[in-house]
Chain A
C-alpha cells in the first residue's frame, strides 16, 4: 500500500510546506517499505520533487482552472489514491491543505487527523500525536479505519532531502457538479504570509497606535519576517484580522516569534505555542509573556526596536 502526498504550488513554485510534506511522506513510505506518490495541479516542472524522495509524480492538467478548487482537487486525489492502492494520504497544514484534507477523508472513507506532529507512532492501526486545545495540549489518536488522511502541522517535521526518481505521469482532472467559482484572488502586499514565515514579528497594544507600525514592519523587513498582531489590535482596527494571532485567530509555528508590546494573554500564548524560539520586548516586567518566552527585554519598544532593527541591518549588510 503506497503513500500519497498532495503538493501545493504558487506561481509555478512548490510551496515549502509541501516539500516538508514530501519529506514526511518519504519517511513514512520508508517505514512501511513502500513507494511515495505525489500529486500536483498545473505544475510545469515537478523535477524538484526528486530531491525529496518522491518516486512518482502525477501532474494534473487543470486547463483553464487556474485557482485552487477544493472539490475537483479532492476528487482527483481520491481517484488516484484508489487506483494506486494508497492507504495513507498527506496534506500540509496550509489553508488549502486543511480545506481539502477532510473532503479527501470523507470521499476516501478514511479517518482524518489534522495538526499532526511527528511521524505516526504506530501503523497497524495508525496512531498519531496531534496538537489540540489550540496548542495548549496534545493527544494521541488511533485510526479506526484502514485508510488515513493526515494534515501535517507546518514546520513540525522540517525538510529532509533524499534522492528519488520522481517520474512524471499525466493524470486526469476530475469534474465537479458544483457551481462555486473563484472570481478573483487578492494577495496581501506583505512579502511573507504568517503561515509560510520562518520568522514572525508581532505587535500589541504597547505600540500605542497604528501609526507606529513602521517599527514592526521595519524589523520584519530586515529579518524577512511576516507581521502579526494581538487580538485587541485587530479588534480596534489597527491591523487586519488576517494578522491576528491566537486562539480565535491564526496559529503560528515559526522558528522565531518576536512579540513587541504584547502582554501575552492565555489565548495569544496558545496560538504561538508551536513556535520554536520566542522573544518578548515589553516595558512591563510583569507581562505574562515573559513566562512563555525564551528571551526577553524589559524596556521601551520605541527605543529597543529601532536599535535592534538598525543593528540587524548593519549585520546583514556586513
Chain B
C-alpha cells in the first residue's frame, strides 16, 4: 500500500497573529512553524499502517525551502520519503493542482490531507485533490480501518457520526479522533538521525493559476473590559444576559 500524506507548514497554535506591509502580508517574525495539527493526526495514522500493512509513507508539501524543517520532522516521525513542490502556496486550489500533478504519477492507494490548515482554514485541498485524482473523498475523518479489501471509515457530522464502507483508492480529510493526541509520535534521536539520510526530493511546480488572491488582512476589534458580577448577585448576571446582551 502506498500512502501520501499532504503536509502544511503552519504557525504554532500559540502564535500571536500579526500583519505587515500595510496589512497585506502575514508577519512571520518570531513565528515558530509546526506540522499542521490535522495533518499530523493523519501522518500518525499513516505510520501505523506502515507498521501493520507494510505500507510506504510519502509526505509532500507545496512550499519554499523554509518548509524543509517540518518535512524533516515528518521523516523523523517515520515517513519514508519527502517531496517538496517548490512553489509559494498561493491558495488551496493552486496547492491541490500541484499535489495532484505529483500524485498522479505515483499511483497512491491512500491520500491523507488534514481537514483544514489552521492558518488559512480553506478546507478545500483534500476535496479538490480527490476530484483531480478521480478518487472519492471523505471529510472530517475520525476512523479508518482496513478490513480485507474494504475500508471502514467514520466521519464526524454535526451532532453525531457516520459509519461508512469504501475501498481504496481514497482521499481523506484527517482530524483529531483518527488518532488521539497522546498517540502523536515524538521523534527520538534515532529517528532524527535517520531522517537526515532519507530522501527529500524537490520537484518543479507545474503551470497553474490560483483561483483567488488575498487583498488584505485585519485583526478582530479590541475587546472591551469584562463586566464582573459578584458571586452573591447572580440575579444581576441573569438581568445583564437578558436585558443588556439579549442573549437568553
Contact = CB atoms under 8 A, between A and B. Distances in A.
Contacts, number: 256
A137 B11 CA distance: 13
Give the secondary structure class of A's interface.
Answer: mixed
Contacts of A218: none
A196 B38 contact: no
B78 interface: no
Interface residues of B, number: 82
B238 A311 contact: yes
Contacts of B126: 102
Contacts of A132: 119-121, 217
Nearest to A107: B131
Given A114-B122, A178-B136, A244 B159 contact: no
A193 interface: yes
A199 interface: yes
Given A185-B163, A186-B161, A137 B234 contact: no
A312 B119 CA distance: 39
Task: Identify the interface centre among B13, B161, B167, B247: most chain A CB within 10 Å of its CB.
Answer: B247
Given A181-B165, A195-B159, A279-B241, A307 B234 contact: yes
Interface stretch (B67-75, B189-197, B218-226): B218-226
Nearest to B215: A140
A308 B125 CA distance: 45
Given A105-B128, A141-B214, A183-B163, 9 more contacts: A94-B158, A98-B139, A99-B139, A139-B216, A141-B212, A180-B166, A242-B156, A266-B14, A297-B234
Interface of B: 11, 13-14, 16-17, 19, 37-38, 92-93, 96, 116, 118-124, 126-128, 130-132, 135-140, 142, 153, 155-167, 170, 175-177, 180-182, 209-220, 223-224, 226-231, 234-235, 237-238, 240-241, 245, 247-248
Interface of A: 67-68, 70-71, 94-96, 98-99, 101-103, 105-107, 110-115, 127, 131-145, 151, 178-188, 190, 192-196, 199, 223, 231, 235, 241-242, 244, 247-249, 255-256, 266-267, 273, 276-277, 279-280, 290-300, 303-304, 307-308, 311-312, 315
